[in-house]
């Protein structure tokens, strides 16, 4: 188990280092940062002053090593637009994004795997086809369109839920539903295919011959083995939700990290953009590592793979 964990940890660190490098280079390739900060009406003297003030006149590799060294200690610099420490901005906004992602993943796990089990049990019937149709619709539906429809129906017409803000748990229900629609189809299809393979296995026939209940066979014997890829995709989907929440946060006016990224991009606030990309990528890498460990616990054979 220790060797398995060590290998996965080394891969995670390499991915994190690659993300740090790419996020730094992409902001530099977007143009002259000094000109972006100074604005279109700035003089050349103003641009040169800003370039010296922010250390942009130094060689690129020196800027990179300096930024990487400070980032490893949690110091992402100061925001050009908000005039505050970038770490403070992210710490203030991150709980909103994490809460939204967890709500979305919770809804997806409550809907996707059960529907996948039902489709597997009723394979090649109208129930199976209906479940696959739901998955197809969920995958094809634009998130912003669904968000607007829910706001009109549940928020304005029925008045059941608030349409914006983060004052209570009710504010996360509609955004969570919208966010979950991107994960439900994949969870549903993976569970269905895994359960179909599991239910055709010899150990399932043995369990039936022993007279075990149908529920015990489905949950304890079937889904336990089918859940291994579901665990992996759930962690990946949570990472996607955290990184792709910018649209949902914008539609529902949730001031999370996604909305912060949108504000920073529109204001050319590159220190914030770099930090947001790095933090979300590290969370994604951490979730993937956690999924590998959970899979190793569920299936000991993976520890020696």
- Annotated domain spans of the chain: 86-304
pLDDT score of 247: 80
Integer-rounded Cα Rg, in Å, for the chain is 24
pLDDT score of 47: 72
pLDDT score of 10: 79
The Cα–Cα gap between 86 and 289 comes to 26
pLDDT score of 152: 87
Q: How many CA atoms lie within 13 A of 36 on its CB side?
A: 19
pLDDT score of 179: 86
3-class SS letters over 86-104: HHHHHHHHHHHHHHHHHHH
User: pTM for this structure?
Assistant: 0.76
CATH code reported for the domain at 86-304 = 1.10.3720.10
Q: Which long-range contacts (CB under 8 A, 24 or more apart) does 128-136 make?
A: 128/192, 131/188, 131/192, 132/189, 132/192, 134/184, 134/188, 135/184, 135/185, 135/188, 135/189, 136/185
pLDDT score of 40: 66
Divide the 305 residues of the chain into consecutive groups of 10 and give the mean pLDDT of each group: 71 79 75 67 72 74 81 79 83 87 88 86 84 80 82 83 77 86 84 80 72 70 72 78 78 83 79 84 80 69 57
Q: What's the burial of 49, exposed, middle or buried (CB within 10 Å: 0-12/13-18/19+)? A: middle
The Cα–Cα gap between 269 and 87 comes to 14
pLDDT score of 123: 80
DSSP 8-state symbol, 40? T
């Amino acid at each position: 188990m220790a060797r398995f964990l060590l290998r996965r940890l080394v891969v995670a660190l390499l991915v994190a280092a690659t993300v740090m490098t790419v996020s730094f280079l992409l902001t530099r390739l977007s143009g002259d940062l000094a000109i972006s900060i100074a604005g279109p009406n700035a003089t050349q003297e103003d641009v040169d002053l800003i370039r010296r003030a922010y250390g942009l006149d130094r060689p690129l590799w020196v800027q990179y090593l300096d930024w990487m060294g400070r980032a490893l200690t949690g110091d992402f610099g100061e925001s050009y637009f908000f005039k505050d420490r970038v770490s403070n901005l992210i710490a203030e906004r991150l709980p909103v994004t994490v809460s939204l992602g967890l709500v979305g993943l919770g809804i997806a796990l409550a809907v996707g795997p059960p529907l996948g089990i039902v489709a597997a049990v009723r394979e090649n019937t109208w129930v199976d086809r209906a479940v696959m149709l739901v998955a197809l619709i969920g995958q094809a539906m634009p998130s912003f369109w669904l968000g607007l429809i829910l706001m009109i129906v549940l928020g304005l017409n029925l008045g059941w839920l608030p349409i914006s803000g983060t004052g209570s748990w009710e504010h996360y229900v509609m955004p969570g539903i919208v966010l979950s629609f991107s994960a439900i189809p994949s969870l549903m299809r993976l569970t269905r295919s895994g359960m179909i393979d599991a239910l055709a296995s010899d150990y399932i026939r043995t369990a039936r011959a022993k007279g075990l209940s149908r529920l015990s066979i489905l949950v304890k014997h079937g889904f336990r083995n089918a859940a291994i890829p579901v665990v992996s995709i759930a962690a990946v989907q949570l990472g996607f939700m955290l990184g792709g929440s910018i649209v949902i946060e914008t539609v529902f006016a949730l001031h999370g990290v996604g909305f912060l990224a949108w504000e920073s991009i529109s204001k050319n606030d590159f220190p914030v953009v770099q930090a947001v990309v790095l933090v979300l990528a590290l969370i994604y890498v951490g979730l993937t590592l956690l999924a590998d460990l959970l899979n190793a616990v569920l299936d000991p054979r993976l520890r020696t793979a």
